[in-house]
Structure 1
């Protein structure tokens, strides 16, 4: 009978915990960028928002895959 690998599970939970603030920050920064298109820093803030959003998606994907791996591998 297999048991859950607790080290790998905690690593997956850490990935999800790191993704949580990015899930909130990324879309907020994108919204702010699109509302201020006439400002000078529009492109920089837009790029930062896109990076934060994609980092959140990547960390969530990595966390879920790691948790599943800890349970079924």
Structure 2
């Protein structure tokens, strides 16, 4: 089944839309974790922040590549 460029562009914009909240949440969670290093939940909060940042980077990359594919293909 062949997808049209419009459908591929929509998929790329969805990836970018899912990345936007992670771009804002990731650094905030990481900042909170580093400010509360003596708290018992320091390691789990740090891990959640790092996962959010990695997910944001991956979704941004996938979204931009999908949009470029839709526009230039």
TM-score normalised by L of structure 2 = 0.93
Gaps of 5+ in 1: none
Cα displacement (A) at 1:6: 0.2
Deviations 1:6-55 (A, max 9, x none): 00000000000000000000000000000000000000000000000000
C-alpha distance in structure 2 between counterparts of 1:22 and 1:32, whole Å = 15
- Moved beyond 4 Å, runs of 4+: none
Q: 1:18-33 counterparts in 2 under 5 A? A: 18-33=18-33
C-alpha distance in structure 1 between counterparts of 2:57 and 2:5, whole Å = 24
TM-score normalised by L of structure 1 = 0.93
- Correspondence for 1:60: 60
